[in-house]
Amino acid sequence: MEPYNTETPSFFSQTGPILFLTTIFFLNFTGRIVFAPLMPIIENDLGLNHTEAGSLFLLISLGYFISLPCSGFLSSLLTHRKTIILSALSVGAVLICASFSGSLWSVRMSLLFLGGAAGIYLPSGISTLTSLVSVRHWGKAVAIHEMAPNIGFVLAPFLSEFFMIWFSWRGVILFLGMASVFMGVAFAVFGRGGEFPGEAPGFGSLKTLFAEPAFWIMTLLFSLGICGTLGIYTMLPLYLVDGQGFERSWANTLVALSRISSVFMAFIAGWVSDRLGPKFTMSGVLLVTGLTTILLSSVSGSWIVIFVFLQPVMAACFFPPGFAALASIGPPEARNVAVSLAIPAAFILGGGAIPLGIGMLADAGFFGLGLGLAGALILIGSLPALLLKPPRR
């Protein structure tokens, strides 16, 4: 099936398939980040320190890092549609297994496989998404898709607190696993799009992408964008509880409520990106995100509540222009290769290594300093964003 027709269906006629993909992405993402609001309980249950807690997020990132480059080989054999189904089913199965883990090492292995199962989704998801609408609507389509992680940021703490009224943290994981399996089966039966193979990252496509300065800039920018959202989010409940003395339920409520604005800001960012261009949008987003992260790390009392709400407002705006810019690197049929190569390093740095570093500084008594250094890195990233020159198509 030819995925890039000269006559592309209208944007509104494709909102159903786009929302289907968005729901699968929501469960894919929430299954990974739900460990952040659960971490104060998991630390007590498993006897972990902050460094060990941060290392759990690194294991998820490591699994993601390993599977993303392999996703091109998988989608070239199975098609993007079947790869999406496989990811949803695998994420669900691993979460169900994690809910029954009886030791720290079994939890660690489950999280490693969780990252691997989740990692094969994104390149196929983005390729399927951008094949459904014309290029002039990419910003809006990606913005809808990016509502998934932003809604996940909001609902993960609420789901955690809700289910822990009756169950342990394991019940939360079990519920998300069963939901992901259900959506994988539903997409297999009712889903549309992605009925074409991806391109495996062969030598030719690798050489083309590696020769593009835009590819390396985007890898750096995604590292900082992931740090500003996922990296800060994973350690923020611990920071509020142990670094600022908040009660766990109040900390999770604040973190959840603070992410509500992200759902709408991401769509606004897609609209702005379609008009101003990705590089200016990304530069402004990283500048403001870095500043608010630094301030979040350096205030206390009622001020910290203010910056808990302000920090994610702009952080969530990175991904619509980011994915639109990344999708423009290389020919359309190799779009999944650009995603599968740029995101792994970005994810393991911004979503794994930086939270681990924050945890290490926290154990040394410098929790705020760790967050502040992360904010400084994000702020500096606003400069290379202005150097981005995507290749002409």
- As a whole number of angstroms, the distance between CA 155 and CA 252 comes to 10
Query: 88-143, pLDDT tens digit by residue?
Result: 999 999 999 888 877 778 888 888 899 889 888 887 888 788 777 766 666 677 77
Q: What is the DSSP letter of 301?
A: T
Does 10 reside within a domain? no
Closest CA to 208 of 46, 330, 304: 330
| Position 95, amino acid | L
Please determine, for residue 260, whether its predicted confidence score (pLDDT) is greater than 50. Answer: yes
Joined together, the tokens standing for residue 186 give: 């539903």
Neighbours of 162 (CB within 10 A): 13
Note down the domain range covering 160.
16-190+200-385
Q: Is residue 46 a contact partner of residue 104, using CB atoms and an 8 Å limit?
A: yes
- Say what the pLDDT of residue 134 is: 66
- Say what the pLDDT of residue 9 is: 59
Contacts of 174 (CB under 8 A, 6+ apart): 95, 96, 99
For every residue of 77-133, DSSP letters joined together read HH-HHHHHHHHHHHHHHHHHHHHT--SHHHHHHHHHHHHHHHHTHHHHHHHHHHHHS
Highest mean pLDDT among 3-7, 160-164, 195-199: 160-164
Joined together, the tokens standing for residue 281 give: 């949008």
Query: 359-393, pLDDT tens digit by residue?
Result: 888 888 888 888 889 889 999 888 888 877 654 54
If you average pLDDT over every residue of the chain, what do you get? 79
- Say what the pLDDT of residue 382 is: 84
Does 85 reside within a domain? yes
Confidence of residue 179 (pLDDT cuts 50, 70, 90): very high
- As a whole number of angstroms, the distance between CA 293 and CA 362 comes to 16
Joined together, the tokens standing for residue 273 give: 């990106």
Neighbours of 70 (CB within 10 A): 16
Burial class (CB in 10 A: 0-12, 13-18, 19+), 6: exposed
- As a whole number of angstroms, the distance between CA 131 and CA 273 comes to 19
Domain holding 355: CATH number?
A: 1.20.1250.20
- As a whole number of angstroms, the distance between CA 283 and CA 62 comes to 27
Contacts of 85 (CB under 8 A, 6+ apart): 184, 187, 188, 191
Place of tokens 């193979």: 197
Please determine, for residue 84, whether its predicted confidence score (pLDDT) is greater than 60. Answer: yes
Q: Is residue 385 a contact partner of residue 326, using CB atoms and an 8 Å limit?
A: no
Does 390 reside within a domain? no
Does 1 reside within a domain? no
- Say what the pLDDT of residue 180 is: 93
In the three-class reduction of DSSP (H, G, I as helix; E, B as strand; rest coil), residue 193 is classed as coil
Does 361 reside within a domain? yes
Does 307 reside within a domain? yes
Does 4 reside within a domain? no
Q: Is residue 141 a contact partner of residue 18, using CB atoms and an 8 Å limit?
A: yes
Place of tokens 């990296």: 231
* Overall number of domains in the chain: 1
Cα torsion 69, 182, 229, 167: sign: negative
Query: 132-159, pLDDT tens digit by residue?
Result: 776 666 667 777 787 788 788 788 888 8
What mean pLDDT do residues 193-212 have? 66
193 vs 349, which has greater pLDDT?
Answer: 349
Q: Is residue 219 a contact partner of residue 345, using CB atoms and an 8 Å limit?
A: yes
Does 11 reside within a domain? no
Neighbours of 158 (CB within 10 A): 15
What mean pLDDT do residues 261-289 have? 79
Residue 301's region, left for phi above 0, alpha for psi from -120 to 50, else beta, is: left
Joined together, the tokens standing for residue 225 give: 């964008």
Q: Is residue 319 a contact partner of residue 146, using CB atoms and an 8 Å limit?
A: yes
